[in-house]
Amino acid sequence: MTETPPSAVLADDAAYAEAVQLAVDSAAAYYADGTSALDDDAYDRLVRGIQAYEEAHPEAVLPSSPTGKVAGGAVVGDVPHTVPMLSLDNVFGTDQLADWAAGLERRLGHPVTAWSVEPKLDGLAISARYRHGRLAQLVTRGDGAAGEDVSHAIGTIVGLPDRLVDPVTVELRGEVMMTTTQFEEACAKRQAHDGTTFANPRSAAAGTLRAQDRPYVCELTFFAYGVLPPSGDDSELAVRLRELPHSEIMRWVATQGVQTTAATPVAGIVAETLERVGERVAEIAAARAGLPFGIDGIVIKCDLAGDQVEAGFSSRAPRWAIAYKLPATEKITKLLAVEWNTGRTGIIAPRAVLEPVELDGSVVTYATLHNVADITRRGLMIGDNVVVYKAGDVIPRVESPVVHLRTGEEQPIAIPEVCPSCGDAIDSSQERWRCVRGRGCRAIASIVYAVGRDTLDIEGLAENRIKQMLDAGLISDFADLFTLTREQLLALERMGETSTDNLLAAIERAKRQPLSRVFCALGVRGTGRSMSRRVARHFATMDAIRAADAEAIQQVEGMGPEKAPVVVDELIELAPLIDKLVAAGVNMTEPGATPPAAEGVRPSEAAAPVAELPLAGLAVVVTGSMTGKLGTLSRNEMNELIERAGGKASSSVSAKTSLLVAGDKAGSKRAKAESLGVRIVDPEEFATQVSAFL
């Protein structure tokens, strides 16, 4: 009998839609920088629940559903893959493995006589493209059809040489990750730089692979798991690579100086029977805890090229390979206390305080409890021994109490009756409780967020100064900043004439920020920096945003059906704040954007026609260090500048790239742009081109 792993149970269409959006958002975060709020097991359970609901209600299937899609539908990057980089389907036990193997052999019409058994490395899949033996480009998996160019990481990845032993043109595929030692060194460098550390090896590797502006370099590790000859190449080597068994191909890869798992305790083997496959699975699983790098399963595939060709592919995965998923890492520790914190939007969130325990390579002292309903469902008590659960690279959570270890001294968890921050009443009508004062409860946190560099960018307005203004009754929200007078500021302690004038000038500059930043400063739940830019460019004006209903909001790229109503409700709640911003003269339009046409309504004449913008229709990539007028801009600010001027900001050079802005040390992106005939300009020329938007 096949083991049936647990899955999320979805009660109705609304729960299904919410689950789909959660899965899509989690996959996007996971494949972008490893910061998904769901661990691997929770994500797998969620997707299995979605699949079960879709099988029972085929009429309700949403186009955005992650089922049947590579990387759960997460789209990252615009460099096309020569051959799709597909995901693997999963099994969760020996019976499921046997069922899968039996189905494969029925499809083939004969037994599989050679199985390749390898570890499933817990990192990020990438494509390494070698031309005449030289490493020319690195591309992430992205959505399987296209990925992100991360060639700037060349030279920082152990196991991925700049040159192969032979001057051949091939594409290697493998996993980029951080070993335990590399993770410790990376954390030490980050600690020395800004006092923080990375959360875990996978997110550290994801962030490091994409980072271009860090003042320190972190080392990564590469393990190859496949190789592709160029399409149409009929050379002797290309023919061999298409016909050799997978195991022999990997031996050839190792002869080229590329790292494989061959020298590790979990080296790939060839098994002639499924029984031997099961034995090797058990051996790799047993070695997992002692490995210097993370694995989250075992990959079983047909070793013979003929079997692979005959089995073929589904839309998202090869039929000749499967991932045998290992149980998520978990430990038992003691629940010492529960802390209740109010976030900047008023959401009240509990956090478990744990007896420190090492979990998946890091010491855990806190874990997520989500909400009161979550605590109640789990039946937790202070003093409980609890199972703390983490699947490789995510925030730990308390899974359940170990009831048989209770001594009778455990105490109920005290549920707050009033807001833990301000003492006002709690709105418990939703599963996620909220202070009735909403953002007003944590005004200081909301204002700090609103004035940050990536929002209104009011220089010189530190948290202690904001607190001083709140205590003096000068402000109650960030809109009040725009009505402050020179006399009011001078009356504050340690506010001299120069600092007062500088702050007033910064506040005045903030009035001219684009709508995308103003909208981001509002802190609308369910949105962030990139979503705020999409909302602003879609609607062009704050009036258009406020007039939109949930259906209209949902037309914004990436806005799911469960987020849209939240945004509408949030905008109603934020109406008084927005009115104050309008009255203060804060800009409420997005440069270069045109509001969507409505019946009987003409587009706003305040927005410049797209065709008149200097970068209209251009895909622009920025690389290297900016100088001159652009020298102080961050990459995010450069992307905003490009979009204001009508262009589309991209992170990688491709045939679709219209313009490359190349600063000092432009590196591989400049070389690729030259090879593709892409127009290249220096920062000074680009600054002149977009001077009206600086």
DSSP collapsed to 3 states, 388-410 = EEECCCCCCEEEEECHHHCCCCC
Neighbours of 122 (CB within 10 A): 24
Coil vs helix vs strand at 13:
helix
Q: 626: which strand partners?
A: none
Q: What is the largest CA-CA distance in the chain?
A: 88
**Beta strands at 115-121 and 411-412: parallel, antiparallel or unpaired:** unpaired
Sign of the four-CA dihedral 473, 478, 479, 484: positive
Strands of the 659-662 sheet, one edge to the other: 648-650, 619-623, 659-662, 679-681
The backbone torsions φ and ψ at residue 264, rounded to the nearest 5 degrees and listed phi first, read -105, 165
Residue 576 structure tokens: 């008084």
Q: How many helices (H) and strands (E) does the chain have?
A: 23, 25
In sequence order, the 6+-apart residues with CB closer than 8 A to the CB of 82 are: 127, 171, 228, 230, 231
Of 551, 545, 519, the C-alpha closest to 532 is 519
- What span, in angstroms and rounded, lies between the C-alpha atoms of 630 and 47? 44
Residue 212 structure tokens: 């271009």
Relative orientation angle of helices 40-56 and 13-33, to the nearest 10 degrees: 140
DSSP collapsed to 3 states, 57-100 = CHHHCCCCCCCCCHHHHCCCCCEECCCCCCCCCEECCHHHHHHH
The single residue of 120, 301, 325, 390 carrying the catalytic annotation is: 120
- What span, in angstroms and rounded, lies between the C-alpha atoms of 30 and 33? 6
Helix runs in 116-166, H state only: none
The answer to whether 350 and 339 have CB atoms below 8 angstroms apart is: yes
**Beta strands at 329-342 and 385-390: parallel, antiparallel or unpaired:** antiparallel
- What span, in angstroms and rounded, lies between the C-alpha atoms of 510 and 514? 9
Residue 675 structure tokens: 């090879």
Residue 274 structure tokens: 């499924």
Of 419, 503, 519, the C-alpha closest to 462 is 503
For this structure, is 334 an active site residue? Answer: no
Residue with tokens 């600054």: 687
Q: Mind telling me the catalytic residues?
A: 120
